[in-house]
Structure 1
Amino acid sequence: MVVLVATMKAKQGREAELETVLKSMIPMVEQESGTVQYCLHRSQEEPGKFLFYEKYTDKAALDFHSTTPYLRDLFKKLAPLLAEKSAIDLYEEVASIKR
């Protein structure tokens, strides 16, 4: 499994707008066959800070997701909403609880 973790922080006053834009991705990504998890989280300690936890079956699935038109469109929408550059990190799943 390939895991991507992305964190982003909204400009002050744009928190709700950023959340709406990020949530709009979920129905589209849900249709991707190689996406195992795509979870949006909101920080309890920092207003306007969001984290996406994404899990893909393999690098090919992540590559597919990365080239979708709706992801490219998301990046255009994010630019005016973000207070700073998003942090994106890739991980390899080592162990997990499966239910």
Structure 2
Amino acid sequence: MIIVTGTIDLDEGSIAPAKELAGAMAKATRGENGCLSYAFYQDIENPARFRIYEEWEDEAALQAHFKQPHMAKFNEGLSKLKVLGADVKKAETEGFKKL
């Protein structure tokens, strides 16, 4: 399994359009083959910070995601917002054990 997670920090004026953009992206992405989980979360202590969390069956599914039209639309929309910083990482795991 592949996990992608991280944060995107925005200017306060970019929060509302980012929420709309992220909602559309998440909804479209969850329908992709190999997508196990895909969501954005807004930080309750810092509303200008969004966390992304994704789970993919494998690297091939993640790479196919990058080629989707909704990914291009998301990147185009994000380029129009004032992004102050981003820190997104990818990890491969053999799976999780229930606690």
TM range (shorter): 0.7 to 0.9
Q: Which runs of 5+ in 2 are unaligned?
A: none
Larger strand share, 1 or 2: 2
In 2, the alpha carbon distance for the partners of 1:72 and 1:23 equals 15
Larger helix share, 1 or 2: 2
In 2, the alpha carbon distance for the partners of 1:95 and 1:2 equals 9
- The root-mean-square deviation of aligned C-alpha atoms, in Å, is 1.6
The DSSP-based 3-state class of the residue aligned with 2:11 is coil
In 2, the alpha carbon distance for the partners of 1:6 and 1:64 equals 20
Q: Which runs of 5+ in 1 are unaligned?
A: none
Q: Single out whichever of 24-33 and 53-62 deviates more from structure 2.
A: 24-33
Q: Single out whichever of 42-51 and 57-66 deviates more from structure 2.
A: 42-51
Q: Report the TM-score, using the length of structure 2 for normalisation.
A: 0.87
1:6, 1:53 within 8 Å by CA — same for their partners in 2? yes
Q: Displacement of 1:7 after TM fit?
A: 1.5
In 2, the alpha carbon distance for the partners of 1:44 and 1:23 equals 17
Q: Single out whichever of 5-14 and 15-24 deviates more from structure 2.
A: 5-14
Q: Deviation per CA, 1:43-79: give whole Å up to 9, x if none.
A: 1121211011000000000000011111011111001
| Structure 1 consecutive aligned stretches of length 4 or more whose deviation exceeds 3 Å | none
Q: Report the TM-score, using the length of structure 1 for normalisation.
A: 0.87
Q: Displacement of 1:39 after TM fit?
A: 1.7
